[in-house]
Structure 1
Amino acid sequence: MADWGETPEVDWPARPDTSLALNRLGTFDWDLDSGQMHLDDTALEVLDLRPDEFSGTASGLGPRIAPGEGARLDARVAQALKDGRSHYGAYFRSRLRDGTPTWTHIQGHILRGPDGRPYRIIGIVRDAAHDPAEPGAGGEEAEGRRRMTGVVERTAAILAHARTVSDVTDTLKDPGALGHLGAISVMLGIVDGARVHLVAEGQLGSYVPEIEYTRIDAAFPMSEAVRTMQAVYLASREEFQLRYPQLWPYIEPLSVRSGVYLPLIAQGRPVGALGLLYAREGDFTAEERNLLVALGSGIAQSLQRAMLFEQEHDLAEGLQRAMLPRRIPEIPGALIAVRYRAARMGRDIGGDWYDVIPLGDGRVGVMIGDVEGHDTDATAVMGQLRIALRAYVAEGHTPGTAMARAAGFLRELETERFATCTYAEIDLGTGMLHIVRAGHLDPVVRRGDGSCHRIQVAGGLPLGLPQGEQSVGGSGYPVTSLEMHPGDTLVLCTDGLIERPGGDPETGMRELMESVRTGPVDVEELADLLCDMVGDAGGGDDMALLLLRRRGTPAPRGGGPLRVRLSPGDPDGPAMARHLIRAAVAAWGAREQADEVVLAADELMTNALVHTDGGAQISLRLTADGRIRIEVEDGSSALPQRREAGDWAVSGRGLLLVDRLAVAWGVEPRGGGKSVWCEFAVPAPPA
């Protein structure tokens, strides 16, 4: 650089270039369209750049602009261009070739075309190191303080919305955030027992596995900040080396010249520490320390909230996993896929559930439901309700009875929560499907030919409503029956799959049906497709999905047994049994005898329910010698008596009808009760 202490002889009057050079005023010309920038010799001298070092673009000034200043200058120019101004000016911190910090001032005149579009900036660059305190570099220092304060305030505002530790670390690592404080690297450590766990490192990208975990009593600055709950300030590389020799091998290769480690204290105890590393050397002023301490306090509060949220979330997520089935059993004759997606509101959990219940004899029960709410209470109620409904089904109750009992169970819990649910039983041999619905969405069936239908299921009110409300408008939960053919797919879901922010549920249902209709045949692939649909446009609710595809062909000759539990006063039980028996008889090749078999079964069921206390169970099976065998078990040891009824008698003909219709019948003792049975011959299939 030239020696600016001597004044050369000049002409009178001085030429403009001489006047500019003597006052260390260089000029620049910036073509905004091409990006090319020209600096005269004095401008290069001010910035301590050699001509061969300058690339001829604005980015070529980067080596001489202090960290964080480039973004601020870009913002100043962009704002002037946007506001339509003709001039702008700014002070900025720069560094000479040997690293000496200094101040530089830039001022530009913006040229615009007839349409107002800026196309060129012509301006001056001058050395501002010796400007008076006001309004020169001192004004820039005041602006720098305001900028630092603004960064702290903005960072605190952003952190106020952080929910997780990852949100906190992402904010701290953002180059546009704490980087404006001049830091070249940011580190965040979290107290983990007797150790400090380094969970984030900033812009240097110098991840060091050896110091990912350090003991709180170790000789590291972050550990010391946690241990003493006092900030650690390091003003030079020598201080790093002297005070923390264990850390020095990791610092030495980096361009770090100073640093600060702030304890993060919440409710009187340290939860972590924040490290900021700088490329400048020198101590921190009292004002800088106050700002950093304020920053650390805000980060500590955000970090503690995030840690508590994650602890609660982990607990709730574990509860959710425990309440849902750990695995889905393989069901011969069916392909089943299930999915659950957590809510994006509350604690990211909810009360949606699914379940698959093997019932034996080629039958399977599937259910899906939704307890209101998105919290641990909803999850706990969901788990209890799922297990209760599963138990009622396993006891042999019909779908309608099982749902009614589940409604009573939820009322007895006194949770003030209600739930919606759909339960379906399918005989995979006959294809008969029986569905009961409690305030839930209608199921969807995709037929083997690709057509898609919404099944209108007669339903009852949601579970858990007070008894008075539950009884309004109907008696319990009616069962809807239909037939599923091989290749048909049953779709059960909760409303999280069809709800859209500000959208209509009916629109969501139509979109669901279209996706099911055009989607893949494979149930796993179809489930993934429907989940992706939620991810693209879904709302904040959780979602459960269950798909069941019937495969294979109807049951071959020889099958069963089919079992249905009958409860006193339950009109749905015998009706469902008649449906199942008729379908099974037809599947076994005896469709012509279906009326006779159903009539005999109805008489045996009626006898058991009318003449004994408690419930009964009816079973139907095809024996190895080709006979259809019906058995009705009850808890009474009293044997039935066949008697001749008079012409005007209204009862007494049950066993007489069975004797006339069946090829054989009888009674067998079963523990404390008995089993009344009858058999029908099935014609052999044609050769």
Structure 2
Amino acid sequence: MRTEDLLAAIATGLWRWDNAAGRVTLDSEAARLLGLPAAPVELTEAAVRSRFHPVDFAEINGIVQLALAEKTLAEARLRIVDERGRVQRIVRSRSRPRIVDGGFELVGTLQEVPEPQPGTSAAHTPITGDWRRSREAFLLDAGRGLAEARSTAEVLRVAAGLSMPGFMPDGLAVFGIEGDRLSVIGHHGHHGDDERPFVAMTLETDYPAAEVIRTGRAIYLPTPEEYSRRYPGTWPLAARFRRTSWAFLPLVNAGRTIGAWMAAFAQPVAFTPDERSVLTTVARMLAQALARAGMQEEQQELALGLQRSMMPTVQPDIPGMTVAARYVPTGGGLTVGGDWYDMIPLPSGRIALVIGDVQGHDVRAAGLMGQLRIALRAYASEGHHPDAVLSRASRFLAGINETELRGHGEDQRFATCLYIEVDPATGLLDIARAGHPDPAIRMSDGTVLVRPTAGGLPLGIVPDADYPTTRLVLEPGETMMVCTDGLIETGGHDLETGRERLRDIIEAHQPGGDGESLERLADALVQAVHGPSSHHTTGPLADRREDDIAVLLLCREAAGCGVGTGGLFAPQPIRRTVLSVAQAEPERIAEARRQVRDVLHDWADPDQVDSAVLMVSEMVTNVLLHTDGEALLVAEITGERGARRIRVDVADSSDELPHRRSPGELASSGRGLMLLELLAGSWGVDPRGDGKSTWFELYEDAGDAAGPVSPESGPAESGPAA
């Protein structure tokens, strides 16, 4: 008896569909099931398509692709309709697809399914319509959840919470590959020690997950009998969990099998084509999510390792000083960027503080940062002065730029940098600046001033750039903050508004007697920019992009401070600012005026503030006009609020004392001493071994002041006109 006769006896037809040629061959039983005369026939694909419900026929291609991927049978339930679109019967198709000439060929059987009753309108809800809609909604939710997961733990948590339509796994496990062995990445629905048997399991073991990884093909085990028959050696591992169906699917990413996913069911599952399609789609999304999370975790680990190797441990034992630092990489996709800080012990016994920012937020920026940090440390350790250290570093970075531009066509990168040589014994700060933000000083009474320093171009732009040095003094009880522009400008701020935001944080800080106080200030500064409250302090700019942050705090301890210059019982200065103005920097006279006005920001009498600013401008200008050296400005405020005194000294290297003149109405000079006599509470000119110092004092309570007091050492009758 022929095969066709045997199949016809059980109401089963044979069909062959050549997708590439567009032809379908039916035997007599298959033709009858499709509503055609019961005779063998070859038809066009279009003629056969008209016999199927269009929704069902459209899904055949997806079912075939799934079967080709899994190398399994393609199974589908198809509705046969008449010319009026009414359902005549439902048939089940089972076929073995294979790829032929750019298309596929199906050879299989058609068998009638007893439901529903013939004559039902095809416009009614399809048999699997509700299930398919649930499947689509589930896959959308699963894809969204897995796409948002950022770590392996999150991916596993999302996978464990997936509620599949109509068949819910009771247990899940994700297997990975470690060399030639199986590893358990994570599981759900099992105890912690349940993974112990898999610790030493090789990929050659007769276990479904191992076979899936070896072959890249899914394995469906609908019954315990099927499991025990196919895998008798490892069946006891599954038997103790009392589950009835299992699916093992390969986790494939970019064409490479990276693991296997097991879904175990407490209730029997037949693993129909629709169910297998859902499981396959979830496995594909799960593989992509795990690969993405694994890559991010590897980058995180690499970046943290780079950060640990490149960022120094802040030394807490600098005599008389306390240091705190923070590094927060926020720009780009990396957790390490181009910002850095460093502390370098110098041969002289001093300490160098370095902070900088390499242009960019990519791997190249991080690499250049590491090279530049090493170069700066080497130059500083050789004992060079701050200006020489930055000059050599600029030449070094320019050389790297030239090499990479010539060899790889890379764009040139520059770096901003602030280099500070600190003398812990005296508080002297020698500062060289390469395009970097100026330091800010918090005085002992909480006043915060930005200290302007002379600077040069960013490193790497001009190989032979000069970097002048500025000398400041960190007084006892004062704190210096240096940072990269990310701390200032993140959140839509410009340089001015960003500094105002930080000024409020620093002024509100309550200093303590230990390093913990400085650590709290460092945390507060970072939280102001990236903490929960940062959205309340956004700036005026529309650009709200984040940038890497590095911040370094240096506090000079107040305990054991020396006395003031006036003797043992002189009041201790509560505010002090020092500024030098060189002959080649007349533009810094404006900065001197601003510094004095900032120091007097809470002075009771605004007229006295204007007078002080005017006198400072006149005194510094006279030094630049009548001497060959620089002017050194020192302003000190002492006393209790409401009865304070400000003393301003402007020193120069000339030993010629000024003399009083009587300028005419049209004279352009000669009024300096007249202004001091008219506006100052007291004033004078003190000779020094290396020059002289012109000074004045103002008293906050003007009513108690005795009026102008002429200096004890009166002005000389000869010398340059003031």
Give the TM-score band, short-chain normalised: 0.5 to 0.7
Moved more, 239-248 or 409-418: 239-248
* Per-residue deviation, 1:547: 1.5
Partner of 1:182: 168
CA distance in structure 1 between the aligned counterparts of 2:122 and 2:236, rounded to whole angstroms: 44
CA distance in structure 2 between the aligned counterparts of 1:341 and 1:212, rounded to whole angstroms: 40
CA distance in structure 1 between the aligned counterparts of 2:243 and 2:489, rounded to whole angstroms: 52
CA distance in structure 1 between the aligned counterparts of 2:530 and 2:205, rounded to whole angstroms: 46
Task: Give the alignment partner of residue 275 of structure 2, picking from 264, 288, 296.
Answer: 288
Task: Give the alignment partner of residue 543 of structure 1, picking from 535, 545, 549.
Answer: 549
Partner of 1:122: none
**Is 1:508 the counterpart of 2:498 in the alignment?**
yes
Partner of 2:397: 410
Task: Give the alignment partner of residue 429 of structure 2, picking from 418, 427, 433.
Answer: 433
* Per-residue deviation, 1:248: 6.1
Are residues 316 and 181 of structure 1, via their aligned partners in 2, closer, same or farther at CA, if it must alter by over 3 Å?
A: farther
SS at match of 1:434: strand
**Is 1:519 the counterpart of 2:509 in the alignment?**
yes
Report the residue type matching 2:304 in the other structure.
E
Partner of 1:671: none
CA distance in structure 1 between the aligned counterparts of 2:502 and 2:183, rounded to whole angstroms: 46
**Matched-pair identity in %:** 37
**Is 1:444 the counterpart of 2:440 in the alignment?**
yes
Task: Tell me, yes or no, if the aligned pair for 2:175 and 2:186 is still in contact at 8 Å.
Answer: yes
Partner of 1:480: 470
CA distance in structure 2 between the aligned counterparts of 1:500 and 1:143, rounded to whole angstroms: 50
CA distance in structure 1 between the aligned counterparts of 2:165 and 2:440, rounded to whole angstroms: 54
Task: Give the alignment partner of residue 398 of structure 1, picking from 370, 382, 385.
Answer: 385
CA distance in structure 2 between the aligned counterparts of 1:380 and 1:199, rounded to whole angstroms: 33
Report the residue type matching 1:514 in the other structure.
D
Task: Give the alignment partner of residue 330 of structure 2, picking from 343, 360, 364.
Answer: 343
CA distance in structure 2 between the aligned counterparts of 1:259 and 1:466, rounded to whole angstroms: 68
Task: Give the alignment partner of residue 456 of structure 1, picking from 435, 452, 457.
Answer: 452
Are residues 405 and 270 of structure 1, via their aligned partners in 2, closer, same or farther at CA, if it must alter by over 3 Å?
A: same
CA distance in structure 2 between the aligned counterparts of 1:157 and 1:260, rounded to whole angstroms: 23
* Per-residue deviation, 1:139: 3.9
Partner of 1:196: 182
Report the residue type matching 2:301 in the other structure.
D
Partner of 1:530: 525
Moved more, 298-307 or 424-433: 298-307
* Per-residue deviation, 1:386: 1.1
Task: Tell me, yes or no, if the aligned pair for 1:149 and 1:291 is still in contact at 8 Å.
Answer: no
SS at match of 2:453: coil
CA distance in structure 2 between the aligned counterparts of 1:314 and 1:226, rounded to whole angstroms: 27
Which deviations, in whole Å up to 9, do the C-alpha atoms of 1:38-92 show, x marking residues without a partner?
A: xxxxxxxxxxxxxxxxxxxxxxxxxxxxxxxxxxxxxxxxxxxxxxxxxxxxxxx
Any gaps of 5 or more consecutive residues in structure 2?
1-114, 405-411, 512-516, 535-544, 564-583, 586-628, 635-650, 655-688, 691-722
CA distance in structure 1 between the aligned counterparts of 2:197 and 2:160, rounded to whole angstroms: 19
SS at match of 1:215: coil
Task: Tell me, yes or no, if the aligned pair for 1:348 and 1:374 is still in contact at 8 Å.
Answer: no
Partner of 2:670: none
Partner of 2:601: none
* Per-residue deviation, 1:395: 2.3
Which deviations, in whole Å up to 9, do the C-alpha atoms of 1:286-330 show, x marking residues without a partner?
A: 232233223323433443344344434433433333222256373
Partner of 1:169: 156
CA distance in structure 2 between the aligned counterparts of 1:246 and 1:499, rounded to whole angstroms: 65
CA distance in structure 2 between the aligned counterparts of 1:533 and 1:241, rounded to whole angstroms: 62
Task: Tell me, yes or no, if the aligned pair for 1:334 and 1:550 is still in contact at 8 Å.
Answer: yes
* Per-residue deviation, 1:360: 5.2
Are residues 503 and 150 of structure 1, via their aligned partners in 2, closer, same or farther at CA, if it must alter by over 3 Å?
A: farther
Moved more, 439-448 or 195-204: 195-204
CA distance in structure 1 between the aligned counterparts of 2:266 and 2:133, rounded to whole angstroms: 21
SS at match of 2:346: strand
Partner of 1:639: none
TM-score (norm 2): 0.53
Task: Tell me, yes or no, if the aligned pair for 2:347 and 2:383 is still in contact at 8 Å.
Answer: no
Which deviations, in whole Å up to 9, do the C-alpha atoms of 1:473-505 show, x marking residues without a partner?
A: xxx223222211222222122223234344445
SS at match of 2:372: helix
CA distance in structure 2 between the aligned counterparts of 1:149 and 1:535, rounded to whole angstroms: 39
Are residues 484 and 205 of structure 1, via their aligned partners in 2, closer, same or farther at CA, if it must alter by over 3 Å?
A: same
Any gaps of 5 or more consecutive residues in structure 1?
1-129, 557-570, 573-577, 584-594, 600-656, 659-687
Which deviations, in whole Å up to 9, do the C-alpha atoms of 1:225-281 show, x marking residues without a partner?
A: 212322121213454566567766675565743221111123443201112223320
SS at match of 1:512: helix
SS at match of 1:546: strand
Report the residue type matching 1:142 in the other structure.
G
Task: Tell me, yes or no, if the aligned pair for 1:489 and 1:550 is still in contact at 8 Å.
Answer: yes
Task: Tell me, yes or no, if the aligned pair for 1:428 and 1:554 is still in contact at 8 Å.
Answer: no
Task: Tell me, yes or no, if the aligned pair for 1:400 and 1:436 is still in contact at 8 Å.
Answer: yes
Partner of 2:139: 152
Task: Tell me, yes or no, if the aligned pair for 2:142 and 2:162 is still in contact at 8 Å.
Answer: no
Residues 221-370 of structure 1 correspond to what in structure 2 (within 5 A)? 221-240=208-227, 256-325=243-312, 328=315, 330-343=317-330, 345-359=332-346, 363-370=350-357
Are residues 520 and 141 of structure 1, via their aligned partners in 2, closer, same or farther at CA, if it must alter by over 3 Å?
A: farther
* Per-residue deviation, 1:410: 0.9
Cα-Cα RMSD: 4.0
* Aligned pairs, number: 434
CA distance in structure 1 between the aligned counterparts of 2:193 and 2:432, rounded to whole angstroms: 58
Report the residue type matching 1:463 in the other structure.
L
Task: Give the alignment partner of residue 387 of structure 1, picking from 364, 369, 374.
Answer: 374
Task: Tell me, yes or no, if the aligned pair for 1:148 and 1:181 is still in contact at 8 Å.
Answer: no
Task: Tell me, yes or no, if the aligned pair for 2:331 and 2:361 is still in contact at 8 Å.
Answer: no
CA distance in structure 1 between the aligned counterparts of 2:496 and 2:174, rounded to whole angstroms: 48
Task: Tell me, yes or no, if the aligned pair for 2:432 and 2:467 is still in contact at 8 Å.
Answer: yes
Task: Tell me, yes or no, if the aligned pair for 1:164 and 1:307 is still in contact at 8 Å.
Answer: yes
Moved more, 335-344 or 298-307: 298-307
SS at match of 2:262: strand
Partner of 2:194: 208
Task: Tell me, yes or no, if the aligned pair for 1:329 and 1:356 is still in contact at 8 Å.
Answer: no
SS at match of 2:555: strand
* Per-residue deviation, 1:179: 7.5
Are residues 518 and 464 of structure 1, via their aligned partners in 2, closer, same or farther at CA, if it must alter by over 3 Å?
A: same
* Per-residue deviation, 1:435: 1.9
SS at match of 2:421: strand
SS at match of 2:444: coil
SS at match of 2:248: strand
